[in-house]
């Protein structure tokens, strides 16, 4: 039996929830960092869920977490907002742990938006059509306000790489383990009274879901289409639910653990670029040369 029934069951249950839309972040690199074109990767066959106990799945995920440091890829992203806004775009993505990301939405005539965040906690969003650069603190509040993703950057980077949002949690036994069709679900109780669940199919991470103390879903992320990329398995499809957005992300040719320069995650304004601070209470500043 394939893994599809368990994934589809979760998709149907989320769509029927109280107005939860699905997220998908994408981070990208500028054209200065061209993507490497690889031969098609090999899909990873799913093993029967019963063949691997939860402890072994968590241990394998912890090993994978320690071995992944960066990722870059082209991607197709479909975005749907709770207000009905929807679009589909091609993006270039670069991610470097712990918290660096770059997302570039690409059109036939060039970039239409560039978002970057670095490990120093800076968020920058550039709109080429208006020659405006917005910048401020990279945190869950600014990501929610400007890209409708209510996550800290480090959490977003890990989720986009198919990793748990709190890797240290993998060293703590889950409070419970259950099975939903072919998915094994390990659950932990969070300090604020909420819960976090990691779901596995065939030994690979298939779901990350978090709820608050009242049981309301904060977010949920599905992973599928796992393939071998240079000796490491990596999900090529990500579907994510957030309260105000839904995103489906399909990676095209991910390359793992390449060295990404810190400068890639910093946007430098050109002369004449209007700069706007997105920190609370800040005003606009005139552009300066970088």
Q: Give pLDDT tens digits for 267-288.
A: 999 999 999 998 865 544 433 3
Residues 6+ apart with CB under 8 A from 276: 132, 133, 134, 135, 284, 285
For residue 288, the SS3 value is: coil
What residues does 42 pair with on adjacent strands? 228
Set out the domains of the chain in order of their start, with CATH numbers. Answer: 4-34+46-285 (2.50.20.10)
Strand duo 274-277 + 132-137: pairing? parallel
pLDDT above 50 (res 24): no
Percent of the chain with pLDDT over 70: 79
DSSP state at residue 268: P
The pLDDT value given to residue 111: 77
For residue 276, the SS3 value is: strand
Residues 6+ apart with CB under 8 A from 19: 82, 243
Q: Report the Cα–Cα distance between both ends of the chain, in Å, rounded.
A: 57
Scan for tokens 């601070």, then name that residue: 277
Check: CB of residue 117 under 8 Å from CB of residue 25: no
Q: Give pLDDT tens digits for 156-214.
A: 999 999 999 998 999 999 999 999 889 999 999 999 999 999 999 999 999 999 999 99
DSSP state at residue 34: P
Q: Give pLDDT tens digits for 83-103.
A: 888 889 999 999 999 999 999
The sign one gets for the Cα dihedral 34, 37, 254, 258 is negative
Tokens of 88: 């589909």
């Amino acid at each position: 039996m394939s893994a599809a029934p368990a994934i589809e069951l979760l998709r149907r249950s989320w769509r029927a929830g109280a107005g939860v839309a699905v997220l998908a972040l994408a981070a990208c690199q500028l054209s200065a960092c061209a993507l490497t074109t690889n031969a098609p990767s090999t899909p990873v066959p799913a093993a029967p869920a019963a063949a691997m106990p939860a402890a072994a799945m968590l241990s394998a995920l912890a090993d994978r977490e320690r071995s992944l440091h960066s990722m870059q890829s082209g991607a197709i992203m479909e975005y749907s907002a709770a207000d009905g806004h929807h679009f589909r775009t091609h993006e270039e993505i670069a991610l470097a742990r712990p918290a660096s990301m770059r997302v570039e939405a690409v059109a036939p005539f060039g970039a239409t938006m560039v978002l970057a965040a670095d490990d120093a906690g800076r968020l920058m969003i550039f709109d080429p059509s208006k020659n405006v650069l917005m910048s401020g603190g990279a945190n869950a509040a600014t990501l929610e306000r400007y890209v409708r993703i209510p996550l800290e950057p480090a959490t977003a980077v890990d989720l986009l790489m198919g990793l748990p949002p709190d890797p240290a949690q993998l060293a703590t036994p889950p409070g419970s383990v259950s099975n939903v069709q072919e998915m094994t679900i390990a659950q932990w109780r969070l300090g604020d009274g909420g819960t976090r669940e990691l779901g596995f199919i065939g030994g690979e991470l298939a779901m990350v879901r978090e709820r608050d103390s009242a049981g309301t879903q904060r977010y949920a992320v599905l992973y599928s289409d796992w393939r071998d990329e240079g000796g490491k398995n990596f999900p090529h499809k990500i579907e994510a639910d957030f309260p105000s957005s839904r995103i489906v992300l399909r990676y095209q040719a991910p390359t793992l653990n390449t060295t990404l320069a810190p400068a890639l995650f910093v946007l430098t304004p050109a002369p004449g670029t209007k700069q706007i601070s997105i920190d609370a209470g800040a005003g606009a500043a005139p552009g300066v040369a970088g």
